[in-house]
Amino acid sequence: MKNITLLDGATGTMLWEKAQAAGLEKVSTWRYNTEAPELVAELHAQYVAAGSQIIYTNTFCANRPAVSAEGFDVTDIIKSGVQLARQSAKKGVKVALDFGPLMNPLEPFGTTTEDDCRRFYHEMCQAGRDADLIVLETFMDAASLAIAAREALDTGLPVLCSMSFNIGSRTFFGDGIDSMLAALPEGIAAVGLNCSFGPEKAVPVIKEFSEKTDFPLLLKPNTADLKPKQFAEGLLPTLPLVSYLGACCGSSPEYIKALKKLAV
């Protein structure tokens, strides 16, 4: 079996739960980095306690179009996100600067130009370069992922890339594993799947990855309403294949605890 590094679980839904419990307004989750930093730090600490060896910063949607539209500064939000994760990371736990796709897709699916896409990710990656690595996740088109990956690599940090698939091993925009691998620049540290669906459908996709590339593989699927133990057991076939393993939508620290029992 491979030496597996445990990632964390869901961030956004968990922060909204914590905000509701604290009587706070449900807002864009990156805002909590400056408006309720104690909630973000608490969640990071819970994932570390559960066994996460890499924790993702609370910066998934912290890009200039989204952040500036609400009157915030993207650099402040990202730097705060890295700081909060760093404060919660115990010895040996790494901090991953986490970014997802832009809400307005790259042309021709949306109106974002390649130059703007490059500029947005350059700003984001440079603002968070105090992290230990960068994770680009939930991308659905290989072209924008490739642009983001090139900007991430310019920081000198390791870069992990994962896409969200829609039907089988095809994304919402029609990209498959082959087009993803062909588009990515040299120097990527890992590739794989996150979000998308639960273990049952994720297993064949990660197996296809293993047949098409020698890259280390990352897997962070949704829970599909499975309980933590069922979720972890559903991923057993992937343990010989993946190097990075975590959970996405619907998960909590309990899911990381369940994975730790089986994978470490």
| pLDDT recorded at residue 1 | 53
**Segments of the chain assigned E as strands:** 5-6, 54-56, 94-99, 133-139, 159-163, 190-195, 217-221, 244-245
102-122 as b/e: b if 16+ CB within 10 A: beebbeeeeebeeebbeebbb
Split into its structural domains, the chain has a count of 1
**pTM of the entire predicted model:** 0.97
Q: What single-letter amino acid sits at 196? A: S
CATH number at residue 20: 3.20.20.330
Tell me which long-range contacts 35-44 makes (C-beta under 8 A, separation of at least 24).
37/80, 37/84, 39/15, 40/15, 40/81, 40/84, 41/84, 41/87, 41/88, 42/18, 43/11, 43/14, 43/15, 43/18, 44/8, 44/84, 44/85, 44/87, 44/88, 44/89
| pLDDT recorded at residue 167 | 84
Q: Quick one: DSSP state of residue 105?
A: P
- State pLDDT tens for residues 254-263: 999 999 999 8
Residue 240, domain extent:
5-263
What CA–CA distance (Å, rounded) separates 83 from 69? Answer: 23
- State pLDDT tens for residues 216-245: 999 999 999 999 999 999 999 999 999 999
| pLDDT recorded at residue 263 | 81
| pLDDT recorded at residue 233 | 97
Residue with tokens 């679980």: 9
Tell me which long-range contacts 38-42 makes (C-beta under 8 A, separation of at least 24).
39/15, 40/15, 40/81, 40/84, 41/84, 41/87, 41/88, 42/18
List the chain residues with pLDDT less than 50.
none
| pLDDT recorded at residue 2 | 72
What CA–CA distance (Å, rounded) separates 47 from 80? Answer: 18
